[in-house]
Amino acid sequence: MTKNRFVLAFGGLLVFFVTGHVWAAFEGGDPEAGQAKSALCAGCHGADGNSAVADFPRLAGQYEGYIVKQLRDFQKGIRTNNDTMAGMAATVATVQDAKDIAAYFSRQKMAKKPIAPVDKKLAAKGEKLFKEGNPRTGVYGCINCHGPRGKGRAKDISQFPVIGGQHRDYIIKQLKDFKEGKRTNDPGGMMADIAKRLTEDEMKAVAEYLAAQLP
């Protein structure tokens, strides 16, 4: 294992042990109450969390704790890479409201088809990067944090979100924002460190692969 890969692996464990209990505090919402409270979210993310536009992420099946954390980060100005979302997050009055909304979306089923055709050749390159990383440039394999096919590791490790099946364009934008310092709310700065080592072609490839990982 290279020095960079060791540092990232150790960092991931440290983030898990130090922040796991914090993320757990973002769970425990009421999905039935959340359905009604999510009405404003539906305009961008879809009534069932399956957005029809690549700029807006799918929320269906996402970890409850992760959704709440992102809402809270937008509210606090910790996450600043989407002005529209910052404004929408401000309308979520309480932490319990955020938990309820997150509980509803987390229990929805992700759509079975991508909204854009998949380039299978590019996706194959992305799969290799996702699983193996790039030892030459110190890129850690995404699978180590996000699990097989990007479907996450476990509900109680929600700091590493479900990204398999997410929209290609959304993934690319987030990677670029991490790389350029426009998004800085990743645990321990892990995603920023990885994104800075990715080329634009690598971002496109791994995003293509992940966009195809639907049920």
Residue 7's CATH number: 1.10.760.10
> What residues of the chain score a pLDDT lower than 70?
1-24
87 and 42 within one domain: yes
Q: What is the pLDDT of residue 18?
A: 45
Q: What is the pLDDT of residue 116?
A: 93
26 and 12 within one domain: no
With beta carbons less than 8 A apart as the criterion, state whether 116 and 55 touch: no
With beta carbons less than 8 A apart as the criterion, state whether 113 and 43 touch: no
37 and 11 within one domain: no
Q: pLDDT of 31-45, one tens digit each? A: 999 999 999 999 999
12 and 27 within one domain: no
Q: What is the pLDDT of residue 6?
A: 45
84 and 132 within one domain: no
- Domain boundary among the residues 56, 87, 106 is at 106
Q: What is the pLDDT of residue 155?
A: 85
Number of domains in the chain: 2
With beta carbons less than 8 A apart as the criterion, state whether 39 and 100 touch: no
74 to each of 81, 119, 146, how far by Cα in Å?
A: 9, 33, 22
207 and 168 within one domain: yes
Q: What is the pTM of this model?
A: 0.89
Structural domain for 101, as ranges: 21-106
117 and 206 within one domain: yes
156 and 124 within one domain: yes
With beta carbons less than 8 A apart as the criterion, state whether 149 and 214 touch: no
Q: Could you count the other beta carbons within 10 Å of the beta carbon of residue 16?
A: 18
145 to each of 84, 117, 148, 151, how far by Cα in Å?
A: 28, 27, 9, 10
- Domain boundary among the residues 66, 85, 106 is at 106
117 and 98 within one domain: no
Q: What is the pLDDT of residue 17?
A: 45
13 and 117 within one domain: yes
Tokens of 57: 């992420």
Exposed e or buried b per residue across 114-144, where buried means at least 16 C-beta atoms within 10 angstroms of its C-beta: beeebbeebbebbbebbeebbeeebbbbbbb
